[in-house]
Structures are given as C-alpha cells and as structure tokens.
A = this chain, B = another copy of it.
Amino acid sequence: MTDVKHMKWWGWGVDGVAFHHGDKPAFAPFVQMAVGIDVNDPATAATSFDDIVVPESRATSEFVVELRGIVGEQNATTDAMERVVHTFGKSIRDLVRVRSGHLDRTPDVVVYPADEAEVQRVVDAAVAVDAVIIPFGGGSNIVGSLEPHADESRTVISLDLGRLNRVLDIDEESGLARIEAGVLGPDLETQLTAKGWTLGHFPDSFTHSTLGGWVATRSSGMQSDKYGDIADIARGLRVVRPGGVLVIRAIPSASTGPSVREMIVGSEGRLGVITEVTVQVHRVPAQREILAYLFPNWKASLEAMHEISESDATPSVTRVSDARETGFSFATAKESKGISKLVTQGLQRFLMAKGWKIDQMCLSFIGYEGSASHVARQKKLVGAIVKKHGGIGVGKGPGVLYDQKKFDTPYLRDFLLDRGAAADVSETAAPWSKLAGLYDHAIASANRAYEEIGVKGWIMAHLSHSYHSGACLYFTFAFAHGDDPLAQYDVVKGAIQQAFIDSGATISHHHGVGLEHAPWLEQDISAGGVAVMQGLFDSADPMGTFNPGKIIVR
C-alpha cells in the first residue's frame, strides 16, 4: 500500500488526537449557554468502519490493471477504506454522511501517481475509457468539491497527488520555488525553512491541505495581508490535460489576454490536474510577533481594522473576533495560561472601571514581520490607531497561544458532533462600507433560522483578512441538532449564504464553491458570469472528464 497519510475516515485530523476540555473549566458552561448541551453527558460511540456498507467498486479489473501498470501495483487500489477516505472532504455534511454510512457513490479506484508523467498517463487512460477524474490533495475541502455525483455511471478515479510532495527548486534570486502540487503544508514549510525560506501561506487547514488544493480552491492564509492570497502567490502552474501539459511560466505580471493562470486558480479540478506550482517565497523574517489587543465593542474593532488598512502600517495579520467569539476564546483557554489570565488578573475590573461592558469586548490579533526597526515602527503605528478607537494592547501572551492553537479548532467539531451539536463555517468578503450591515444581517439570519427549525444555536465571527477596499468575515455556527441534522443544517447554512448575497458580499472568500455554494453562484457573479464560466468548462473539458458538476451544477 501507498505510504501517503490521510485524515481519520470519520473526522478531522490524525488518529489519536482529539479535543478535550479537562483543563478548560470555562468550556462546559460556555457550550451549555451557546447550544444547550452538557458536554459531560455520554458521547455517541465512534462508528466502527465494519458497520459501514461501502458500495462495490465499478472499475473493471482490466482498467485497474492498466492503472497499476502506470503507477505500480501498490499505488492503484479499490480497497474499501481507501475509497471511503477519498469520497468526501470534511464539511459537516461530509462528516454526518460518512459517520452514518451514507455513501451513495464512492470513487471506484484510488491512484497515487509518482510524478507528472504518471499523472499524464492516468489522465490519458481515463479519457480513453471515458472515466471521471477527481483530483485529491489533503481531503480538507468543506464545500463538496471531492465527492462523485451520486448518479455517475462512469468509472470514477480519485487521483491522489500525495506522492508529488517535493520542493523541486528554489530560485533564490527571484524568491520563486517550484513545488509539486501534492505537498502538505507542514512538509512544504519544512523543506522551505531548511533553506531559510517561507511560503507564508497558513490557512486554517494548513496541517492537512496541499499546495495544489490551495490553488484549486483559491485559498487564503492567516498572513495574507503580507503574503497575499494563493492567487497572488502562485505565479507559475503546470496542469495535466488530455494529451499534454498546460504550462504557465512564472512571470511577475503579464498582459497576455484573459488570464489562464486565473482560470486554473479556483478551478477545483474542472480544467485538469495541477501537478506543479511555482510560488513566491520569502526569506524567513528576522522578527515575527503577534500582539493581542482588546476593543470595547465590534463597531470600534471594525473601524480600527479599517483605519489600519488605510494607514502606512503593513501588518502581516489583522484579525479581530466579535464579542461572541471573544467569549469562545476565553472559554477554550486553559485555566492558568494565556488569554484566561486576562480575565483573572484584574483586567476585567480595570476595563469595567473604564466603562466597558465585558460581554461586548472584542479580542484582536495583529501580526508584525520584518526587521526589528520595521516591526517596532509598525507596532507604533498600529498602537496609535488602536488607542484612537478605544482599544488597549494586552501583550504577546495571547498571540503566542493563538499561534500554537490556530490549527486545532477543527478537532472541536468532531467533539461536538459526538455530543449532538452540528458546527460548520461560512466565510465571505465585502467592501468596508458593507461589513457592519453584512455582519448584522448574517447573525440575524442564522438566529431566525435556528428559531424556524426550533433548535438552540450559536453564531460568532471574526474579521480575518484585510484589503484596501474591504475585508473577509468568517462565521462559525453550531446548533444542537435533531434527527435530521443535514436538513436543519441546510436551513441555517442557506440563511447565512443568502444574507451574504443580500448584503453585497461574496458567497466565499477562500473556501471555494464546490456543491455547497453553487446554488448562490449566479446571484454572486451574475447569469452572464456563470454562462462565460460554463462555456470555459464545456470547451476545455467536452467529455466531462474532470470533476464534472462542481462549481456550476446543472
């Protein structure tokens, strides 16, 4: 068998790692308050894989033999566990289905090519027999980009890029690295930092997502304010298509017609298989700091973030949580460390004395990178803006903690699902002038949806990426679900997405479209935009070989 590692078949992350709250005394009361669940009640036992009925592979043995001839005996498999692992991503819809054995259609065969030449041969073999190819990176997708259509009658290949995991070359003079698309975030950074470089791309999914996946979904990392979104970072591309490789060379900026690079970015597998990306890399900065700040309320927080974006300051991270998420952060902090210190060491009394309402307080993290003098100046510029908007600096401690914990949140979702609460996220972006209204509308819509379906629910948000003309708002929502969690989820998720559209915001800032956001695509980019995109897909992939039906569902 291949040595490519995967996440748990039924949930996020690595076997043996899970969220626990023994050392977080504020957590249980918080969950009780938010979704009405006692986390100390007995949890659902983990499903056993043996209880799952996995559909048979429909691949002919001849075709499997042919694929094995290309990638080697051990790198093409119809094994049931392999096929289940490659059926879904990790959205709440995926988790609920896979845990309950709702597997309408799995891939028929999973292949692990070793290099681009093998990918080309697999693609050409698939086209020859009219099979379907779904490229697979880390499997962290949460918008339904990975699953085969339930009624797909053709053979479905899950093409796992996990063996294409090497940094091939670093052009140290240009700050450009050629990297294979299947590399996971940590493996990529390890290879780069060994030579003094960093990609600077740290999405929440970092530990279990790949470079190719980031490009295919227009990913954005926590430090995008400095390093850019993946569409900025990915300069060169190699994409295997029937009969040959589409090659976009790494050029800093070009005027060569409609951007084919920007067609591949975000294509979610529909235009071919991304095998290599040439990315901008940066020297590991001399200094890197994340400072925490508190603001008296959400309005002041937004105004401060906006003013920072307009100022001469160029922080690497601008993040601020609303009061609800700030409360959540305090509730998930360990008793004796970091953030919780803030609320225990007299600060709360101090702030109340200043006239703050503790339940309206918003926690912010601002990141600084560069030379010592640059960092010092940035901190000074930001500090003045924070002060102007009534905020206060609370030092490095919480930032260090945030930095350590930032990739752990997804584990919490499995913990909650085991205890009867469904949680997921919706993220968007909008101009600065629309952010406050967008926020209010999305919160109100979610709460109306909870009322409509009669559940106790929770929603919180943070601003996560700033641009000249606007910002990304990232919502996390959870509710105590009933017997049909997915039907309930559809109501809540749908209400939030529609609120985005109605507020002039986009359906996704960095998660992609897949199946999950496709119903709102036309309202976002207009019927004309969908028609142009559909024409692109139809002309570039007339047989519907590449991940058909994603982004635009017909």
Contact = CB atoms under 8 A, between A and B. Distances in A.
A508 B256 contact: yes
A101 interface: no
Contacts of A267: 257-258
A175 B310 contact: yes
A401 interface: no
Contacts of A467: 252-253
A532 interface: yes
Contacts of A469: 174-176, 235, 250, 252, 280
Contacts of A231: 253, 259
A249 interface: yes
A326 B540 CA distance: 48
Interface string A241-270: 100111111111111111110111111101
Interface stretch (A34-42, A123-131, A290-298, A522-530): A522-530
A526 B247 contact: yes
A253 B229 contact: yes
B256 A265 contact: no
B371 A255 contact: no
Interface stretch (A20-28, A67-75, A337-345, A430-438): A430-438
Contacts of A283: 310
Contacts of A282: 468
Contacts of A173: 306, 431-433
A387 interface: no
Contact of A280 (B264, B268, B468): B468
Interface string A511-554: 11100010001001111110111111011100000000001100
A465 interface: yes
A83 to B, nearest CB: 27
Interface stretch (A4-12, A405-413, A451-459, A499-507): A499-507
A171 interface: yes
A485 interface: no
A217 interface: yes
A521 B260 CA distance: 12
Interface of A: 171, 173-176, 217-220, 229, 231, 235, 239, 241, 244-260, 262-268, 270-271, 280, 282-283, 306, 310, 312, 314, 370-371, 373-374, 377, 429-434, 465, 467-472, 504-513, 517, 521, 524-529, 531-536, 538-540, 551-552
Given A171-B431, A174-B470, A263-B536, 6 more contacts: A245-B528, A249-B504, A258-B264, A258-B270, A258-B533, A534-B539
Q: Which 10 A-B pairs have the closest CB atoms?
A: A535-B539, A246-B528, A262-B262, A252-B467, A174-B431, A252-B470, A218-B255, A173-B433, A312-B374, A247-B526
